[in-house]
Structure 1
Amino acid sequence: MTDTLPGRPVTAESFRRALSVHASGVVVITAQSDGVPAGLTATSFSSVSLEPPLVSFYVNRSSTTWPRLRAADHFAVNILAGDQADLAARFASKGIDRFAAPTRWRTGPFGAPLLLDVSAHLICLPYQTAEVGDHVLVVGLVTEADVHNPSHPLLYHRGRFGRFLAVRDTQRGGDR
């Protein structure tokens, strides 16, 4: 016999606490709209498909940056390296010029701002969006992919940024 599920979801706090133990990679999504650069930090980034090459991220529907990203005809995914926690925090901050010093960036293909010293850049065309709960799912078609510095990635875990430390192959056991 299968137990029935409760009629209501868990509380936001309980859900947030449970998800905080899941580590995720950190990217900064950038675009240029009407000549003005815009960008935000995302920890909800993932690959979607190899054929065609698709990636996705979620953005809060109340984001003040989202309208400028949505208006752009393309965007860049800047995959952050392990030593770029300050950059991630800067693009997650409100009320500041995220592209002012000390942010280092250049204009990339089609005008998308590309952050310097990142592990990789993906240039994407908007492919599909969908409103899902209090967020917008954004799917992009990858038109260019450049790996620059495949060092340790920046991770987000339990509300903090951190670095990945690989386990040596000799320490790996059987199935875990």
Structure 2
Amino acid sequence: MTRTLPGRGADAARGVDAGRGLDAARGVDAGRFREALAVHAAGVVVITAQNDGVPVGLTATSFSSVSLAPPLVSFYVDRSSTTWPSLRGAGHFAVNVLASDQSDVAARFARKGVDRFAEPTRWRPGPLGAPLLLDVSAHLICLPYDTSDVGDHVLVVGLVAEAAVHGASRPLLYHQGRFGRFLAHPS
């Protein structure tokens, strides 16, 4: 599908709005894009699975709900991720919603070249085998529902088969390239 911004003549055919300098074909510069996204606070989860008896996991800040009926959630993973092939091959996955004091867990699952499930990571096998991290705010056990290539990432949608809330602790947030905590406004 070709998207054309309002304009006139050859610029309009190429997706350029000459009056505003907008270019729909290229989009904004990557540095400016990252800078703008950094001001958006996002919740932090760790996606875990087990493939051929080996636990795998990665940190995601792109997690969101998709639908209530059926109960669907989603996250994005970079197509170049070395964890993605193992995660894709698993029959199910778990979403571990991190609590505000778990920035070390988020950082560990974002690092390359480390055994993410070794000490000090605390986890147990879930009901279907996916690793469940301990001390998290909630777990969602998901069955693969759909995937779609979107730019340089893969959109992963899961059907939530089980959900457990372990406490109303404050969530871990990611903002301006750092982990932080949520502070509620006074009522």
Q: Render the CA deviation track for 1:54-83: whole Å, top value 9, x for unaligned.
A: 000000000000000000000000000000
In structure 2, what is the Cα distance between the partners aligned to 1:6 and 1:32? 43
Q: Render the CA deviation track for 1:27-65: whole Å, top value 9, x for unaligned.
A: 000000000000000000000000000000000000000
1:27 corresponds in structure 2 to 45
Percent identity reads 76
Which consecutive aligned stretches of 4+ in structure 1 deviate over 2 angstroms post-superposition?
2-8
2:23 corresponds in structure 1 to 6
2:135 is paired with a residue of what secondary structure?
A: coil
2:102 corresponds in structure 1 to 84
1:173 corresponds in structure 2 to none
2:125 corresponds in structure 1 to 107
In structure 1, what is the Cα distance between the partners aligned to 2:105 and 2:95? 14
Q: CA RMSD, aligned part only?
A: 0.9
Q: Render the CA deviation track for 1:89-111: whole Å, top value 9, x for unaligned.
A: 00000000000000000000110
1:145 corresponds in structure 2 to 163
In structure 2, what is the Cα distance between the partners aligned to 1:35 and 1:103? 18
TM-score of the aligned structures, taking structure 2 as reference length: 0.88
Q: Render the CA deviation track for 1:111-134: whole Å, top value 9, x for unaligned.
A: 000000000000000000000000
1:160-175 equivalence runs, <5 A: 160-169=178-187
Gaps of 5+ in 1: 170-176
1:134 corresponds in structure 2 to 152
Gaps of 5+ in 2: 1-5, 8-16
Question: Alignment partner for residue 59 of structure 1, among 49, 55, 77?
Answer: 77
The answer to whether structure 1 residue 69 and structure 2 residue 82 are counterparts is no
